[in-house]
Every structure is written in structure tokens, then in C-alpha cells.
Amino acid sequence: MRRLRVATRGSALARLQTERVVRRLDLDPDRDVETVVVTTTGDRRLDVEIHTMGGVGVFVKEVEDAVLEGRADFAVHSAKDLPARTVPGLVLAALPERADPHDALVGSTLADLPTGAVVATGSVRRRAQLAALRPDLQFASLRGNIETRLRKASAFDAAVVAAAALDRLGLTGHVADILDTARMLPQVGQGALAVECRADDSEVIAALGGIDDHATRMAVTAERAFLAELGGGCELPVGALGQVDEEVVVLDVLLASHDGSVVLRATERGSDPAAVGVAAALALLERAGGRMLLESIA
């Protein structure tokens, strides 16, 4: 019986997510699954903000390489870390049921933050949307795993983290405010897990297919299509959230300036997730002024 190897980052959250995926697989109980821990560029460079490293792919490239090179058979990622286009040779074999996609404030609610408060987050998307809501806020960088960020958060008035991460680690007691989508759209794929394997590995594709969640796949497919059409390496703050109702995807999207002075939003819906994502990107670019915004930083 073939022994399977799963690649993952080494953080407590990444390993927990991987263990949950493995437990859900319908495998023979005598079949071993070996964990292959990989250190990524994003894990090594904690002194540098993510967007200055190129942002896209800094937490996944080395993990994907482990699968492509045969050192692992599949990999478990946070879907928000993936580039908008799947790497040639790999396939997104499973997108399990999504957790809470929202962002959360730790330390204070947004309404209770005093004028000029300092909010810790390294995300340009989070900074832009918070600045649009509260132009008085100041921002500080915050890097590291969830436990590290929670420990450092006390040095600031508040910090922003993904609600799903706190939930999976049993740390929801730290949440002061869940930021609804009217205030902040999440990152593409936030709250979802993505399981990749080699495109020619039919055995693993079949094993992973049993944990694929149809609604999650539709929503995340629309979000990723939006980001790909917008330009997967877009340097501006971008947010998106797809929700599925009776085979129809409703996709809310956002493109903003870094300082939050310009925030463009659009909503598209339809039964073809990829087409909805493309339509949402074009709505921002062609009708809402997104093309001019992108050109302003070129």
C-alpha cells in the first residue's frame, strides 16, 4: 500500500489544518500519512512586510515545490496564500468546507478605538479598509504566527487577524470585534483550505475528492478568477467574498488605494463561478474607475 506524504508549513495552525484534512480523508486505517514540514520564504523573513516580498506565494512556493519534486504527494495550504493561478503540474484537488472568512479585531472593537489609535496589521488590504472607515487611525506592522501576533498585540490599541485562525486554534476568546463585510471584505480565499497534488496523480486526486465542498469550491473559484483577471500580482489592496445560494454565486469585490481614500466596490452574480469572477474584475476596472487606480501606481 502506497504511503502518502503531505507537505505543510511548520506553524501550529498549519499543522493543525493539515491534521484535520488528513483525518477527514477516507483512507484505509492501516495506511500511513507522513507529514513533511517545509519552511517557506514568508516564514524565514519575519523582518520584512509580506507585500514588500512580492506578497503572492511567499507562504506556498516551497511547499508546492515539495509536491512537484516528489518529496510529498499533496499539500495543505490556507487558500488565501495561494497565487491566483494554479502552478502548472498541480491541481486544486480539494477545497473543504470553509470556516469563518471574516477578519477580527483583537484588543478593542472598532467603535471603541480612541482617536489616533494604533492598529497592528501587516496587510495593505486591512489597512486600506480600516483607514477608509477611520482616517484617524495609525498602523504598525505585525508579523509572525497567530500566537506571536496575539502576544505582541498588547503593545498596540488593537490588532487584526483572521477569525478562522483564532477559531481553529481555540482562541476565539481573544476576539473583540468581528468585522462584517460592510466594513471589511476579506482576502481572496480567506477561511478556506486548499489541498493541492500533482495533476497526473489520479490516486491522490481520487482520495482528496471526497473532502471537496461544492459551495466552497464555487465561492473560492469565483474569488480566484476575480484576482486573476484583475492581475494576480496586483499591488493595490484587494478583497473578495463569494457566497453561494442555490447554485448561484454572489461575489462582492473591492479595490482600494493604499491610504483608503479611494475604495471601489462591485457585486456580480451568476451560476458560472469563473465567469462571475471575471465579470466582477471588469466591473471594477471598466465601470468603477479601477483601471485609472491601477495606472496611478504604474
Residues 176, 179: Cα–Cα separation, whole Å: 10
In angstroms, the first-to-last Cα distance of the chain is 54
How many residues can be counted in the chain? 298
Instruction: Give residue 225's identity as a one-letter amino acid code.
Output: A
Burial 139-177 (b: 16+ CB within 10 A, else e): beebbebbeebbeebeebbbbbbbbbbbebbebeebbeb
Residues 151, 246: Cα–Cα separation, whole Å: 42
Is 81 labeled as catalytic in the residue annotation?
yes
Q: How far is CA 3 from CA 7, 85, 167, 203, 276, in A?
A: 13, 29, 31, 12, 39
- Choice among 43, 73, 81, 213 that is catalytic: 81
Q: How many CA atoms lie within 13 A of 153 on its CB side?
A: 21
Q: In sequence order, which residues have a C-beta less than 8 Å from that of residue 31 and are 6 or more positions away?
A: 1, 2, 3, 4
Residue 70 Ramachandran class (φ > 0 left, ψ -120 to 50 alpha, else beta): left
What the block records as the C-alpha cell of 205 is: 486526486
Which residues are bridge partners to 106 per DSSP? 159, 175
Residues 132, 127: Cα–Cα separation, whole Å: 9
Instruction: Give residue 24's identity as a one-letter amino acid code.
Output: R
Catalytic residues: 81
